[in-house]
Structure 1
Amino acid sequence: MDERIIDARGLSCPQPVILTINAMKKLGSGELTILVDTDTAKGNVSRAAKAQGWEVKNIQSEGDAYRVILIKA
């Protein structure tokens, strides 16, 4: 699986946030996509990314899930 795509669908918080933070630390910069399936996870992942200095580039709704795209220069 691509290390720049984290599939956190079906996971309860704080697991999506923990996976996101670990991936951000591993990548350091670039683009990262997080797949989540709740509004709570979408919000928590977005806040965690901003706290780590990443920008939320886009949030796409995909049926009952969300694709959160994060970037850091």
Structure 2
Amino acid sequence: MAEIVDARGLSCPEPVLLTLEAIKKFGKGEIEILVDTDTSKENVSRAATSMGWQIIEIAEETTGYRVRIKKE
């Protein structure tokens, strides 16, 4: 089961910082990051890939976006 980071309602750089914190905490596996703006979606995706994580899916939802990342 994926860990969930709920960064909705937060402005950058907070969603990125929460994502990086989760990446450091878990080290590998799957993480879902919930964001509510295009900017946060792009910044979180960029930060995750720069740390060697793969973007599995970016799904648009009624409350924003669900960004799924994974590292083996």
Query: 2:37 — aligned with what?
Result: 38
- The whole-number CA distance in structure 1 between the counterparts of 2:24 and 2:3 is 12
Q: Note the aligned Cα RMSD (angstroms).
A: 1.4
TM-score of the two chains, using structure 1 as the length reference: 0.94
Instruction: Work out whether 1:17 is the aligned partner of 2:12.
Output: no
Task: Summarize the alignment of residues 23-62 of structure 1 with structure 2, pairs less than 5 Å apart.
Answer: 23-62=22-61
**Alignment TM-score, normalising by the size of structure 2:** 0.95
* Identity percentage of aligned residues: 57
8 A contact 2:3–2:32 mirrored in 1 = yes
What are structure 1's unaligned runs of at least 5 residues? Answer: none
C-alpha contact 1:3 1:23 (8 A) present in aligned 2: no
Moved over 4 A (4+): none
Q: Which residue of 2 aligns with 1:66?
A: 65
Structure 1 residue identity aligned to 2:40: A
Say which is worse superposed, 3-12 or 21-30, in terms of deviation.
3-12
Which amino acid in 1 is paired with 2:24?
K
State the aligned residue count: 72
Q: Deviations over 1:9-49 (max 9, x none)?
A: 00000000000000001000000000000000000000000
1:3: how far off?
7.9
